[in-house]
Amino acid sequence: MSRILIVDDHIVVGEGTKAILERKGSYETTFIPDSHEVMDILKQDPAFDLVLLDLQMPGINGLELSREILNYDPDMKIVVYTGLEITDHFNLLLEAGVTGFISKTATTDQLILAIEAALDNHVYLPVTVMRKFRIIEKDRQSANGKNNDHDTRISLNAREQEIMHYVSAGLTNKEIGEKLYISQRAVEYSLTSIFSKLKVKSRTEALMKVNKHQISNKQS
Protein backbone atom coordinates (compact mmCIF):
# COMPACT_ATOMS: atom_id res chain seq x y z
CA MET A 1 0.00 0.00 0.00
CA SER A 2 1.43 3.36 -1.06
CA ARG A 3 1.74 6.11 1.51
CA ILE A 4 0.81 9.64 0.46
CA LEU A 5 1.36 12.94 2.26
CA ILE A 6 -1.27 15.54 1.29
CA VAL A 7 -0.30 19.19 1.84
CA ASP A 8 -2.99 21.84 1.37
CA ASP A 9 -3.74 24.95 3.43
CA HIS A 10 -7.45 24.57 2.61
CA ILE A 11 -8.54 22.08 5.28
CA VAL A 12 -11.84 21.15 3.62
CA VAL A 13 -10.06 20.39 0.32
CA GLY A 14 -7.29 18.46 2.04
CA GLU A 15 -9.64 16.35 4.14
CA GLY A 16 -11.85 15.75 1.10
CA THR A 17 -8.88 14.63 -0.99
CA LYS A 18 -7.75 12.30 1.79
CA ALA A 19 -11.22 10.72 1.97
CA ILE A 20 -11.38 10.29 -1.82
CA LEU A 21 -7.97 8.64 -2.07
CA GLU A 22 -8.63 6.25 0.79
CA ARG A 23 -12.03 5.33 -0.65
CA LYS A 24 -11.01 5.01 -4.31
CA GLY A 25 -7.39 3.85 -4.15
CA SER A 26 -5.13 1.58 -2.14
CA TYR A 27 -3.43 4.37 -0.24
CA GLU A 28 -2.55 5.22 3.32
CA THR A 29 -2.81 9.00 3.51
CA THR A 30 -1.75 11.72 5.93
CA PHE A 31 -3.03 15.27 5.57
CA ILE A 32 -1.40 18.42 6.93
CA PRO A 33 -2.52 22.04 6.28
CA ASP A 34 0.75 23.73 7.27
CA SER A 35 3.54 23.67 4.68
CA HIS A 36 6.09 24.50 7.42
CA GLU A 37 5.57 21.05 8.96
CA VAL A 38 6.34 19.05 5.83
CA MET A 39 10.10 18.70 6.18
CA ASP A 40 9.87 17.68 9.84
CA ILE A 41 7.30 15.01 9.00
CA LEU A 42 9.36 13.61 6.11
CA LYS A 43 12.47 13.48 8.28
CA GLN A 44 10.62 11.75 11.11
CA ASP A 45 8.84 9.32 8.80
CA PRO A 46 10.82 8.54 5.61
CA ALA A 47 8.35 5.88 4.41
CA PHE A 48 6.12 8.19 2.35
CA ASP A 49 6.03 7.30 -1.35
CA LEU A 50 4.54 10.52 -2.72
CA VAL A 51 3.68 14.08 -1.72
CA LEU A 52 0.47 15.57 -3.16
CA LEU A 53 1.18 19.26 -2.91
CA ASP A 54 -0.92 22.42 -3.28
CA LEU A 55 0.88 25.14 -5.24
CA GLN A 56 -0.17 28.40 -3.61
CA MET A 57 0.12 28.29 0.18
CA PRO A 58 1.04 30.87 2.82
CA GLY A 59 4.51 30.65 4.28
CA ILE A 60 6.24 28.25 1.91
CA ASN A 61 4.61 27.90 -1.50
CA GLY A 62 4.52 24.64 -3.43
CA LEU A 63 7.40 25.59 -5.71
CA GLU A 64 9.79 26.40 -2.85
CA LEU A 65 8.64 23.37 -0.88
CA SER A 66 9.19 21.04 -3.85
CA ARG A 67 12.79 22.21 -4.05
CA GLU A 68 13.31 21.66 -0.32
CA ILE A 69 11.80 18.18 -0.43
CA LEU A 70 13.86 17.08 -3.42
CA ASN A 71 17.02 18.56 -1.98
CA TYR A 72 16.46 16.35 1.06
CA ASP A 73 15.16 13.31 -0.86
CA PRO A 74 15.87 13.41 -4.61
CA ASP A 75 13.81 10.24 -5.16
CA MET A 76 10.59 11.56 -3.62
CA LYS A 77 7.63 11.67 -6.01
CA ILE A 78 5.81 15.01 -5.97
CA VAL A 79 2.50 15.69 -7.71
CA VAL A 80 1.33 19.29 -7.73
CA TYR A 81 -2.43 19.51 -7.10
CA THR A 82 -3.60 23.05 -7.72
CA GLY A 83 -6.52 25.27 -8.60
CA LEU A 84 -4.21 27.64 -10.50
CA GLU A 85 -3.64 27.48 -14.26
CA ILE A 86 -0.85 24.92 -14.51
CA THR A 87 0.42 26.09 -17.91
CA ASP A 88 1.42 29.46 -16.40
CA HIS A 89 3.84 27.70 -14.02
CA PHE A 90 4.84 24.68 -16.10
CA ASN A 91 8.49 25.58 -16.69
CA LEU A 92 9.14 26.62 -13.09
CA LEU A 93 7.67 23.40 -11.73
CA LEU A 94 9.53 21.30 -14.27
CA GLU A 95 12.80 22.95 -13.27
CA ALA A 96 11.99 22.33 -9.61
CA GLY A 97 11.82 18.60 -10.37
CA VAL A 98 8.21 17.72 -9.64
CA THR A 99 6.93 14.40 -10.97
CA GLY A 100 3.49 15.41 -12.18
CA PHE A 101 0.69 17.99 -12.26
CA ILE A 102 -3.05 17.77 -11.80
CA SER A 103 -5.77 20.40 -11.52
CA LYS A 104 -8.20 20.49 -8.61
CA THR A 105 -10.94 20.59 -11.23
CA ALA A 106 -9.89 17.12 -12.43
CA THR A 107 -12.10 14.11 -11.80
CA THR A 108 -11.32 11.53 -9.15
CA ASP A 109 -10.22 9.06 -11.83
CA GLN A 110 -7.83 11.64 -13.30
CA LEU A 111 -6.36 12.33 -9.87
CA ILE A 112 -5.79 8.61 -9.32
CA LEU A 113 -4.19 8.33 -12.78
CA ALA A 114 -1.80 11.19 -11.98
CA ILE A 115 -0.78 9.58 -8.69
CA GLU A 116 -0.38 6.09 -10.16
CA ALA A 117 1.67 7.46 -13.06
CA ALA A 118 4.01 9.27 -10.67
CA LEU A 119 4.43 6.19 -8.47
CA ASP A 120 5.34 4.26 -11.63
CA ASN A 121 7.90 6.91 -12.67
CA HIS A 122 5.69 8.28 -15.44
CA VAL A 123 4.11 11.70 -15.92
CA TYR A 124 0.40 12.34 -16.37
CA LEU A 125 -0.12 15.64 -18.20
CA PRO A 126 -3.36 17.32 -19.27
CA VAL A 127 -3.67 17.94 -23.01
CA THR A 128 -3.72 21.72 -22.38
CA VAL A 129 -0.27 21.54 -20.83
CA MET A 130 1.09 19.42 -23.67
CA ARG A 131 -0.25 21.87 -26.27
CA LYS A 132 1.29 24.78 -24.38
CA PHE A 133 4.62 22.99 -24.21
CA ARG A 134 4.57 22.35 -27.97
CA ILE A 135 3.91 26.04 -28.63
CA ILE A 136 6.83 27.03 -26.41
CA GLU A 137 9.16 24.60 -28.20
CA LYS A 138 7.98 25.78 -31.62
CA ASP A 139 8.66 29.40 -30.71
CA ARG A 140 12.07 28.49 -29.36
CA GLN A 141 13.02 26.67 -32.55
CA SER A 142 11.77 29.55 -34.71
CA ALA A 143 13.89 31.96 -32.71
CA ASN A 144 17.13 30.00 -33.25
CA GLY A 145 19.78 32.08 -34.94
CA LYS A 146 18.24 35.38 -33.92
CA ASN A 147 19.86 37.91 -31.63
CA ASN A 148 18.49 37.18 -28.16
CA ASP A 149 18.73 40.86 -27.24
CA HIS A 150 16.05 41.56 -29.84
CA ASP A 151 13.87 38.53 -29.17
CA THR A 152 10.28 39.79 -29.05
CA ARG A 153 8.74 36.38 -28.51
CA ILE A 154 8.82 36.74 -24.74
CA SER A 155 5.36 37.69 -23.53
CA LEU A 156 3.51 38.35 -20.29
CA ASN A 157 -0.10 37.52 -19.60
CA ALA A 158 -2.61 40.19 -18.56
CA ARG A 159 -2.09 39.72 -14.81
CA GLU A 160 1.70 39.80 -15.18
CA GLN A 161 1.43 43.03 -17.19
CA GLU A 162 -0.71 44.58 -14.45
CA ILE A 163 1.88 43.62 -11.85
CA MET A 164 4.73 45.08 -13.90
CA HIS A 165 2.70 48.29 -14.36
CA TYR A 166 2.51 48.69 -10.59
CA VAL A 167 6.16 47.68 -10.18
CA SER A 168 7.09 50.51 -12.54
CA ALA A 169 5.04 52.85 -10.35
CA GLY A 170 7.17 51.85 -7.35
CA LEU A 171 4.51 49.94 -5.39
CA THR A 172 5.52 47.25 -2.90
CA ASN A 173 4.31 43.66 -3.25
CA LYS A 174 1.77 44.26 -0.49
CA GLU A 175 0.46 47.40 -2.21
CA ILE A 176 0.23 45.59 -5.56
CA GLY A 177 -1.76 42.81 -3.90
CA GLU A 178 -4.19 45.35 -2.47
CA LYS A 179 -4.62 46.96 -5.89
CA LEU A 180 -5.33 43.61 -7.58
CA TYR A 181 -7.26 42.06 -4.66
CA ILE A 182 -4.82 39.16 -4.36
CA SER A 183 -2.47 38.08 -1.58
CA GLN A 184 1.08 39.36 -1.24
CA ARG A 185 2.22 35.75 -1.70
CA ALA A 186 0.38 35.58 -5.03
CA VAL A 187 2.19 38.73 -6.16
CA GLU A 188 5.55 37.27 -5.11
CA TYR A 189 4.80 34.05 -6.96
CA SER A 190 3.82 35.96 -10.11
CA LEU A 191 7.04 37.98 -9.92
CA THR A 192 9.03 34.76 -9.69
CA SER A 193 7.31 33.58 -12.87
CA ILE A 194 7.97 36.93 -14.58
CA PHE A 195 11.66 36.86 -13.62
CA SER A 196 11.94 33.33 -15.02
CA LYS A 197 10.31 34.31 -18.33
CA LEU A 198 12.54 37.35 -18.71
CA LYS A 199 15.64 35.58 -17.39
CA VAL A 200 16.31 38.31 -14.84
CA LYS A 201 16.86 38.36 -11.08
CA SER A 202 15.40 41.65 -9.91
CA ARG A 203 12.59 44.15 -10.39
CA THR A 204 15.00 46.64 -11.94
CA GLU A 205 16.26 44.15 -14.52
CA ALA A 206 12.69 43.09 -15.31
CA LEU A 207 11.59 46.69 -15.88
CA MET A 208 14.59 47.38 -18.10
CA LYS A 209 13.87 44.33 -20.26
CA VAL A 210 10.14 45.01 -20.50
CA ASN A 211 10.76 48.61 -21.52
CA LYS A 212 13.56 47.75 -23.95
CA HIS A 213 11.61 45.13 -25.86
CA GLN A 214 8.13 46.58 -25.25
CA ILE A 215 7.06 43.14 -24.03
CA SER A 216 3.30 42.65 -23.93
CA ASN A 217 0.65 39.98 -24.03
CA LYS A 218 1.35 38.18 -27.34
CA GLN A 219 0.45 34.68 -26.29
CA SER A 220 -2.30 32.89 -28.17
The string of DSSP letters for 24-93 reads: HSSEEEEEES-GGGHHHHHHH-TT--EEEE-SS-SSS-HHHHHHHHHHH-TT-EEEEEESS-GGGGHHHH
Range with the lowest mean pLDDT among 88-97, 127-136, 189-198? 127-136
DSSP reduced 3-state for 1:
coil
Q: What share of the chain is helix, strand, coil (3-state, %, to 5)?
A: 55, 10, 30
pLDDT at 213 over 80: no
Higher pLDDT pick, 39 / 202: 39
pLDDT at 214 over 70: no
Indicate the average pLDDT of the chain.
Answer: 81
Question: How many Å is the Cα radius of gyration of the chain?
Answer: 19
Apex 131 CA angle, 60 and 93, nearest 5:
15
Strand residues in 83-212 grouped as ranges (E): 100-103
Contact 190, 157 (CB under 8 A): no
Task: Please report, for residues 21, 169, 183, 207, the alpha-carbon distance to residue 165 in angstroms, rounded to integers and kept in the order given.
Answer: 43, 7, 17, 9
Higher pLDDT pick, 116 / 104: 116
Contact 10, 52 (CB under 8 A): no
| Average pLDDT of the residues in 120-133 | 72
pLDDT at 147 over 50: no
94 Cβ neighbours under 8 A, 6+ residues apart = none
Note the pLDDT of residue 197.
85
Pairwise CA distance, residues 96 & 90, whole Å: 10
Alpha-carbon dihedral angle through residues 90, 158, 202, 54, given to the nearest 10 degrees: -40
Confidence of residue 106 (pLDDT cuts 50, 70, 90): confident
| Average pLDDT of the residues in 13-42 | 92
Angle between the 173-180 and 158-168 helix axes, to the nearest 10 degrees? 130
**Whole-number percent of the chain with pLDDT over 70:** 80
Contact 65, 71 (CB under 8 A): no
